[in-house]
């Protein structure tokens, strides 16, 4: 599932192709469009050029000289650059034709991730309910965001209205790195724990952005989480897992005690 680092990778793909005129837009499947028709998407963008794109949480915003394309990647989406003659993938849903090649929005599922706003203001309104971007959050912000929360830590970290950008893998990886049990009550963390959590978040995000995904390395929880009863990469204790708010949550009972 695309999380902040994956979307940061898609942002870079788009950033390499700013300034090239959009010659046309092909909507191969209208099922991915939200609040915009295929015709409107084409007429609004044709002849325009993408400007420097930016990302907020798991959203990619691509201003195009007035209109703003907003992309969300749901569970399985991606954005990639291809030569025009490269065979299409069966899950390619929308294609922006630019000069020498094309940008392809691919999604195995169809979760209506392609939006069009008429202006920057309208684009901002679409994202109004989101919390601050995980990469921008300071330690003091994190304290404010988590304090007084009676729910568990894990769902607080993945709630996009609290912090934008963290998904299931990142949240578990960050808790594991910080040695904090994800089932703890979010508002109960002490100052040292919030500091550890913030430091882990910075480090995990920085390394994941380099890899353009949460890398399943041997030294990361992400590399061990899919092995049944797999050992903790740090201490060798068999990992624990259970569903928390519908998502599989993995932790080390030794490194991350419940207290
Ligand atoms: Zn451990």
State yes or no: is 121 an active-site residue. no
What does the pLDDT look like over 166-184, one tens digit per residue? 999 999 999 999 999 999 9
CA angle (135 as vertex; 132, 138 as ends), nearest 5: 75
Q: What is the mean pLDDT of the chain?
A: 96
Q: By percentage, how much of the chain surpasses pLDDT 90?
A: 95
135/211 Cα distance (integer angstroms): 15
Secondary structure (3-state) at 61: strand
Q: Which CATH architecture has domain 134-251?
A: Orthogonal Bundle (1.10)
Neighbours of ion ligand 1 (CB under 5 A): 232, 234-235, 237, 252, 254-255
What is the β-pairing status of strands 101-107 and 114-117? Answer: unpaired
| Contact present, 35 and 115 (Cβ < 8 Å) | yes
Res 24 pLDDT > 90: yes
Is residue 110 flagged as an active site residue? no
Question: For residue 174, what pLDDT is reported?
Answer: 98
Residues paired with 79 in a beta bridge: 105
What CATH number matches the domain at 4-126, 3.40.50.720, 3.40.50.1970, 3.20.20.370, 3.20.190.10?
3.20.190.10
Clarify whether 247 is annotated catalytic: yes
Compute the distance between CA of residue 151 and CA of residue 39 in angstroms, rounded to an integer.
Answer: 44
Can you give the residue ranges of every domain in the chain? 4-126, 134-251
- Given pLDDT bands bounded at 50, 70 and 90, which one contains residue 69? very high
Among the options 5, 11, 55, 58, which is catalytic? Answer: 58
For residue 58, indicate whether it is catalytic. yes
Q: Which of 46, 110, 247, 253 is catalytic?
A: 247
Would you state the pLDDT for residue 110? 83
Contact 223, 173 (CB under 8 A): no
């Amino acid at each position: 599932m695309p999380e902040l680092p994956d979307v940061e990778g898609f942002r870079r793909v788009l950033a390499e192709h700013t300034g090239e005129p959009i010659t046309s837009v092909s909507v191969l499947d209208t099922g991915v469009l939200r609040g915009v028709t295929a015709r409107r998407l084409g007429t609004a963008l044709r002849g325009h050029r993408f400007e420097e794109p930016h990302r907020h949480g798991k959203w990619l915003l691509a201003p195009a000289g007035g209109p703003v394309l907003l992309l969300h990647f749901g569970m399985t989406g991606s954005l990639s650059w291809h030569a025009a003659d490269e065979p299409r993938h069966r899950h390619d849903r929308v294609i922006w034709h630019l000069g020498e090649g094309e940008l392809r929005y691919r999604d195995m599922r169809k979760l209506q991730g392609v939006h069009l706003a008429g202006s920057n203001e309208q684009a901002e309104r679409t994202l109004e309910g989101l919390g601050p971007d995980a990469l921008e959050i300071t330690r003091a912000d994190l304290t404010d965001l988590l304090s007084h929360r009676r729910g568990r830590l894990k769902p607080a970290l993945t709630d996009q209205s609290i912090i934008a950008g963290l998904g299931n893998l990142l949240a578990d990886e960050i808790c594991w790195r910080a040695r904090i049990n994800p089932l703890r009550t979010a508002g109960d963390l002490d100052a040292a724990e919030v500091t550890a959590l913030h430091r882990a978040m910075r480090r995990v995000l920085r390394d994941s952005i380099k890899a353009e995904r949460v890398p399943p390395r041997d030294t990361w929880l992400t590399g061990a989480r899919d092995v049944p009863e797999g050992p903790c990469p740090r201490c060798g204790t068999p990992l624990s897992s259970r569903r928390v708010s519908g998502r599989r949550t993995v932790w080390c009972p030794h490194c991350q005690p419940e207290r």
